[in-house]
Amino acid sequence: MKADSEGNYKELKAFALKQGIALFGVAKFDPEEARSLLSDREGNDLPFAISMGVRLSRTVLEGIVDRPTLLYQWHYRQANYLLDRTAFLLSLQIQDKGARAMPIPASQIVDWKCQRAHLSHKHVARLAGHGWIGRNNLLVNPRFGAQVRYVTVLTDLPLKVDEPVEGDCGDCRACVEVCPAEALGSMPEEYDFHRCFENLKTFAREHRIGHYICGVCVRACPGKG
Ligand code: B12
Ligand code: SF4
Ligand code: SF4
């Protein structure tokens, strides 16, 4: 295994960007902080977390007014495929270098009652320098806002580590004003999971969406572009 952490970082980043990834960063992985439900066998003992983000289409998001559209549903699925496929391919590359790698699915639920996944991609993305947690409870990137979806690969391949970035929502309240469930407030901690989730269940049932998605607070948050 190469101990060249800078070289490994550059190589993996170049590969990810070629696949269509817009944001690439690395964080030290602390399972407790990322609220990980994994065991050591599944990757909790891996010290680095690679966070990758794919940018969503502004044109697709513009079609969303107060509920998800069928076009957004398809776009959401394609974004997840791209993230999962890139995480899969990157893990094989890492394995070829003699290291361990665990790709964590973009959107797989482990605990349906509490709506919990293996770990928090938002948390890893924040530590890897992709942005801050905004009023919409999402990871807000300075350039692309909340219009990015994320995936994580855990690994023991030596890698350069990024730093979190400074930033906040300032005076903006765009997402708070448009949320159809009134589930958002001034601080991310005010996000009302139950209000949001009940609304998403209705969308999934009544509008042929079939997934727990919405997109209204994503559309409201485009970043600086
Ligand atoms: C389950 C889930 C949901 C559930 C519940 C979400 C929830 N509880 O927050 C539902 C269906 C409601 C949902 C809705 C949405 N989701 Co969702 N969801 C997930 C999923 C699959 C798992 C979340 C999870 O397990 N979280 C575990 C908890 C512990 O972590 P967390 O929610 O990230 O919380 C962090 C902080 O909030 C904080 N925290 C949480 N609880 C507590 C408690 C205390 C005491 C403290 C101090 C801190 C704290 O610490 C955590 C770690 O840093 C993730 C993918 C993933 N694996 O991360 C996507 C994910 C979070 N969703 C995403 C999106 C975009 C959405 C929606 C916009 C739907 C859509 N696509 O149209 C809405 C937005 C709702 C909102 N405003 O937050 C994206 C977010 C991208 C981004 N830019 O931030 C993710 C990351 C998927 C992805 N691959 O990109 N989602
Ligand atoms: S829309 Fe504005 S207030 Fe909401 S998360 Fe984005 S920057 Fe923050
Ligand atoms: S996903 Fe929809 S209902 Fe949930 S917080 Fe965002 S805008 Fe509100």
The 10s digit of each residue's pLDDT in 84-112 is 999 999 999 999 999 999 999 999 999 99
The torsion angles phi and psi of 80, rounded to 5 degrees, stand at -65, -40
**Which 3 state secondary structure label does DSSP give 112?**
coil
The residue ranges of every structural domain in the chain are: 5-60+70-169
- Does 225 score more than 80 pLDDT? no
Binding-site residues, ligand 2, Cβ < 6 A:
134-136, 140, 145-146, 169, 172-175, 220-221
CA 102 → CA 47, 89, 107, 124, distances in Å? 11, 11, 15, 14
Question: pTM for this structure?
Answer: 0.96
Sign of CA dihedral 32, 121, 129, 13: positive
Best residue for ligand 1 mutational test, from 32, 56, 138 (most atoms within 8 Å of Cβ) = 138
The reported pLDDT for the residue numbered 2 is 62
Is the distance from the beta carbon of residue 191 to the nearest atom of ligand 1 less than 6 Å? yes
What is the 8-class DSSP label of residue 48? E
Give the tokens for residue 153.
């690969």
Q: Rounded to an integer, what distance in angstroms lies between the CA atom of residue 111 and that of residue 41?
A: 19
Which residue, by CA, sits nearest to atom 6 of ligand 2?
A: 221
Q: Count CA atoms closer than 13 A to 82's CA, side-chain side.
A: 21
State the distance from the centre of ligand 3 to the C-alpha of 215, rounded, in angstroms.
Answer: 7
Per-residue pLDDT tens digits for 183-222: 999 999 999 999 999 999 999 998 789 999 999 999 999 9
Which CATH fold would you assign to the domain 5-60+70-169?
NADH Oxidase (3.40.109)
State the distance from the centre of ligand 3 to the C-alpha of 217, rounded, in angstroms.
Answer: 6
Strand partners, 140: 132
Q: Rounded to an integer, what distance in angstroms lies between the CA atom of residue 150 and that of residue 56?
A: 11
Amino acid (1-letter code) at residue 97: K
The reported pLDDT for the residue numbered 136 is 98
Give the mean pLDDT of the chain: 96
The reported pLDDT for the residue numbered 208 is 83
Q: Rounded to an integer, what distance in angstroms lies between the CA atom of residue 143 and that of residue 191?
A: 23
The reported pLDDT for the residue numbered 196 is 98
User: For the chain, what percent of residues have pLDDT higher than 90?
Assistant: 95
> Whose atoms come closest to the Cα of 196: which ligand?
3
